[in-house]
Chain A
């Protein structure tokens, strides 16, 4: 199963703190040996300031060993730092606790006004702004995302977009909100970052590319956790050459998530998104392939239903082992089945239920029930022939009469408009000539 695991690829573009949940998930999946995962987790955590967590992991890993001194030393130091910062940032805490602050933020026109307000009411020193950011960073590194998020919120309000820490602050806020499972706020941050990057403040295409890659990856948490996440991903990628380019150049593995989002998307936007997706998948087929993209290829390029069926089975394992996709496992399977069935129906006028059941990986009875439900919900124009065990599709050919009507019905309206405008025009001209 390890061949389809994307943790390694995704991890490159994520923050250490964001990778931690991924690793936690991996421990539970038993794809890799638990020891290896713990080992890498330890390596991950030692670089952060979440020393207690690291010590826990260490104990799990080496139950019989003493905790090394360096951890303890570091712990000591971190605790000291933490306390010191807590002390110094008391005034900021007070500001944050001020009930009028939120109102003030929404009322101020720009950051200067806000700074003025704080100086006036809270004895705030403008030169403290940078240290707010530094404090937030420390809180974040220690795992206190709540406080970090609050501080960063304030910081972002206090600095112009050109500030050196502005961008990092935004990223920090996004990370905090993701880790706090504040998907709505996360979404806001995501939007802010996106617009910021789209303004291209780096003047350097490589850097822009990098930022976009990160954004796509960090967004993974949002796409599959936020209620409207899928739509969001589709919006981001549909007709957006910028992000499509990112996928094509740096991270074709994102295709998996895109494909999943397209499959489980609402019916009305399904077909256009699918078209785009199929193209990209075909183009990138040599750099990235996994059961999900292959499933789509089978179904929409080759119309190979047996192949699609096989791939769908593989997809199940892929999905259940993917941190982001596991939540939409059921939906995916349902939609995928429906997709197979729909395509099948569009091609066939008569299908035996037994065959269908096989294709959909269901028992005959289940399949029949399923189809009956579809017919009842008016999503399918078909009838069951229980004597032969067939599903007979309704025929929906367009008659030539209808075609002609369709082609000509607006003619009279158009000529009316034309005649009107000609008349108006003539009137214009005569006035012009008279003048």
Chain B
């Protein structure tokens, strides 16, 4: 509030002392206002304690109140009083610290005096103007309320006013002196208002409704009160300004100064323009005159210094966010201000401060701006942030940028500078803006390509920012560092680093992005306190590992984090990230021949049928319920930019291929099984639709290729199956994405195609054995090996596994190297009988369950809440049955105890609980059905 005054007064003191130790005057500005220049320059060196500053503020207000009291200007008193209480509030921490909580006596005194005064005035309230009387009433009320807090102290004061007065004698004197001074220094007085007026002009032309606290009271005043009072008010202030310094000055010094001023004044008079200004006389006129003019930054020859610039800055930014603000103009004004500041060489702190303001203004602007123009502003923004970053890096030794610097403890004038602000936040917003810009552009256009190149710039900036943060005190701020590292992770995780694969093959040594990732993510895991950042960092980490073929690391990370269980509670953005990570994980598992894991990782996503939407790579047209425009907007804003998107064809192909490798042998095994259930519904559906077609042409799309492959596999024709899956067309569509992982080692190709070839052979062999075993009595193993182009040992291993798992009722004859099949396949009659017995069992189960429902739903438990409970319990029971059924369905014979790791998905650590889910859903349906039955029966009973 009182910054200006305070500085003015102090500078006076300083200027006087300067005479003793003159400082080199800046030579940059040959200005006529030498004296003021001096004043302001020197004022930079003042160090005041926080206490002084606060108290100063309060003193000023006290004085103001006293002055207004003389004029009986109630509304102003009320304003000042409110400001005063606020100032006191602000000063409280300091009071507590330095004064041991004792309310300053001058404050008490003014409260007491005000109370007295108000009570006096209350009596002649009727004579007052309407505004005044209203203000008086408010003031009285407020005062009564407020004074209650200080009851004790006030009582003490009233009893013994002198005691407290003594403490403040000095202050009192000061005020008195003010008055004296006003008479004795007419020259100064005369000059001051003028100076003030120029500033005022500069100020008011920006905007009239500036809510700058300093001027706020003034402008209100000018509108509400008479010119006279305003004048007095100002007069008082100016007097004060001069007067305060007076206190400490010796007469001679003052004299000297006055002389100097006179000289200056004379000098200034040479300046014609200034003279004109002078001639304009009272400053109301000036104000009126300038308002009509085009807004200008400063008067041409006005002194440019830190406080002035800062004031201007505050003034410009004050309108931020208000209706009808021209954001564009604001940016222009700020840029102009910046150039002015630069010319005046006001130091890096001011530049940084203004820089922050400009960036904020551009952010504001880009909200409104049209898409096409956005790019333009984006460039500006990028440059600006880059600039400010360079500036803060180059001055990091004496410039502190911190969020925690309070607005009024900023230090702009001298080193060590302190500026409020956070580069990290700015950068985060910049990044957001970047994504927005990218999303606006057509992802196939040239512009997009051009913009994506900015990513490199951003990454460079991020690196510099990190280096900067690490070298300042902020390195201890875990929150900021976590955010910074997370940003870095976010920019890194989706980028492929070839060195990682080279390193794995021993072709490269040194740190790769995986190592960097480990380091950064490690920090976030350890230090982060907001769960969100950690979760996201883990997901990025998983994605990165999976992309670089680190299957085990990625798997362990997802399993240890237990994210699968809690991800449903997180925000959509994180869920999208989770989906992306799962996709990478699935593809990675596929490359590593873990078909089951690949299938499990992808199945949730693929079963939903909304892959595009779940990966935020495009909106799906919704038929049933149209989303509202807002919803669409939100969804659009979540989209992943094109260069980060995953190839949907690859995902689907990997999913279908793994589903094929699991499903086809399973179908063959359970051809006549009543309880058979498709493992992958999507795949099963595809297969069925193709089979229904009376005429099948050669495969065209990726899906058709996979389904054709599956059909070939069903017949056990591995060669055809492989050719359907891996051919030129599919290479172009899908497999080229895996080319980077392929390599040759010891003249042996290792890669996804080889894996597929191996896997297809194996699964085809299994399918073949399942399908055709009933036409054989014995099969020669070497012949099988020949058919499937496999080694004898491999065939042996596959067959042995099937025998052990009792999938194949056979045993091997070692001397003749054949599989001897046991004729256990039931005859037609027998198999029908078996089916009947199965069905009877199902019937029994249902009736058991129905009965149990009956019991629980019986008269004893038919309370109001009974229904839900009963339902839950039944649900649970069903699930158990369900699991039993599942288990049973694998065991064809009666002998249990099979370590079938293929079919036994329950124990799979990577199992994403899809089985539980599905069981759940199934149960729910069942439960509903049961309940319906139950109700029907109940109705029947009632009837």
Contact = CB atoms under 8 A, between A and B. Distances in A.
19 contacts: A272-B897, A300-B899, A303-B804, A346-B804, A347-B812, A388-B815, A397-B824, A398-B893, A400-B827, A400-B834, A404-B830, A406-B894, A407-B838, A408-B837, A408-B841, A415-B844, A421-B855, A429-B858, A429-B859
Interface of B: 552, 560, 793, 796-797, 799-801, 803-804, 809, 811-816, 820, 822-824, 826-827, 830-831, 833-834, 837-838, 840-841, 844, 847-848, 851, 854-855, 858-859, 893-895, 897, 899, 901, 907, 909
Nearest to B894: A406
B851 A422 contact: yes
Contacts of A283: 909
Interface stretch (A224-232, A274-282, A320-328): A274-282
A393 interface: yes
A304 B793 contact: yes
Given A411-B840, A425-B854, A403 B834 contact: yes
Chain B interface SS verdict (over half): helix
A302 B831 CA distance: 33
Interface stretch (A77-85, A348-356, A366-374): A348-356
A400 B826 CA distance: 6
A349 B847 contact: no
Interface string A297-311: 000111110100000
B813 A348 contact: yes
Nearest to B827: A400
Given A350-B814, A397-B822, A411-B844, 7 more contacts: A346-B803, A347-B812, A348-B811, A395-B811, A398-B894, A400-B824, A425-B858
Among A349, A388, A428, chain B packs the most CB atoms within 10 A around the CB of A349
Given A411-B844, A425-B854, A278 B901 contact: yes
Interface in A400-419: 400-404, 406-408, 411, 414-415, 418
A303 B797 contact: yes
Given A399-B824, A429-B859, A348 B841 contact: no
Given A303-B800, A343-B804, A404 B858 contact: no
Contacts of A275: 899
A355 B814 contact: yes
B854 A398 contact: no
Chain A interface SS verdict (over half): helix
A278 B552 CA distance: 17
Contact of B907 (A279, A301, A428, A429): A279
Interface in A373-407: 388, 390, 393, 395, 397-404, 406-407
Contacts of A113: none
Contacts of A408: 837, 840-841
Contacts of A286: 552
Contacts of B841: 407-408, 411
Nearest to B833: A404
A202 interface: no
B333 to A, nearest CB: 56
A404 B837 contact: yes
The 3 closest A-B pairs by CB, nearest first: A303-B800, A349-B811, A400-B830
A271 interface: yes
Interface residues of A, number: 51
Contact of B814 (A278, A351, A411, A425): A351
Nearest to B829: A400
A144 B17 CA distance: 83
Interface of A: 249, 271-272, 274-275, 278-279, 282-283, 286-287, 300-304, 306, 343, 346-352, 355, 388, 390, 393, 395, 397-404, 406-408, 411, 414-415, 418, 421-422, 425, 428-429, 432
Nearest to B897: A271
A384 to B, nearest CB: 14
Contacts of B815: 350-352, 388, 390
B847 A418 contact: yes
Nearest to A390: B815
A3 B815 CA distance: 39
B893 A407 contact: no
Contacts of B909: 283
Contacts of B855: 421, 425
Among A350, A401, A422, A425, chain B packs the most CB atoms within 10 A around the CB of A350
Contacts of B801: 303
Contacts of B800: 303, 347
Nearest to A355: B814
A352 to B, nearest CB: 5
A432 B859 contact: yes
B858 A428 contact: yes
B850 to A, nearest CB: 10
A302 B823 CA distance: 26
A347 B907 contact: no
B899 A278 contact: yes
Contacts of A415: 844
Nearest to A307: B793
A421 B824 contact: no
A403 B844 CA distance: 18
A400 B847 contact: no
A301 B838 CA distance: 32
A421 B451 CA distance: 76
A361 B833 CA distance: 48
Among A300, A395, A397, A432, chain B packs the most CB atoms within 10 A around the CB of A397
Contacts of A398: 824, 893-895
B895 to A, nearest CB: 8
B859 to A, nearest CB: 5
Nearest to A399: B824
A116 B796 CA distance: 74
B833 A400 contact: yes
A102 to B, nearest CB: 47
Among A346, A347, A429, A432, chain B packs the most CB atoms within 10 A around the CB of A347
B834 A407 contact: yes
B803 A347 contact: yes
Contact of A418 (B803, B830, B848): B848
Contacts of B899: 271, 274-275, 278, 300
B420 to A, nearest CB: 39
A195 to B, nearest CB: 26
B848 A414 contact: yes
A397 B809 CA distance: 8
A418 B850 CA distance: 11
B290 to A, nearest CB: 69
Contact of B844 (A346, A347, A355, A414): A414
B748 to A, nearest CB: 19
Contacts of B894: 398, 402-403, 406
A393 B854 CA distance: 52
Nearest to B815: A352
Nearest to A300: B899
Contacts of A425: 851, 854-855, 858
A301 B805 CA distance: 11
B905 to A, nearest CB: 12
A289 B736 CA distance: 34
A271 B898 CA distance: 9
Contacts of B811: 346-349, 393, 395
Contacts of A271: 897, 899
Contacts of A406: 894
Contacts of A347: 799-800, 803-804, 811-812
Among B799, B815, B816, B893, chain A packs the most CB atoms within 10 A around the CB of B815
Contacts of B812: 347-349
B901 A279 contact: yes
A127 B837 CA distance: 76
Contact of B851 (A249, A393, A421): A421
Given A343-B804, A397-B809, A352 B844 contact: no
A77 B503 CA distance: 56
A428 B820 CA distance: 60
Nearest to B907: A279
Nearest to B809: A397
A383 B805 CA distance: 24
A421 B850 CA distance: 12
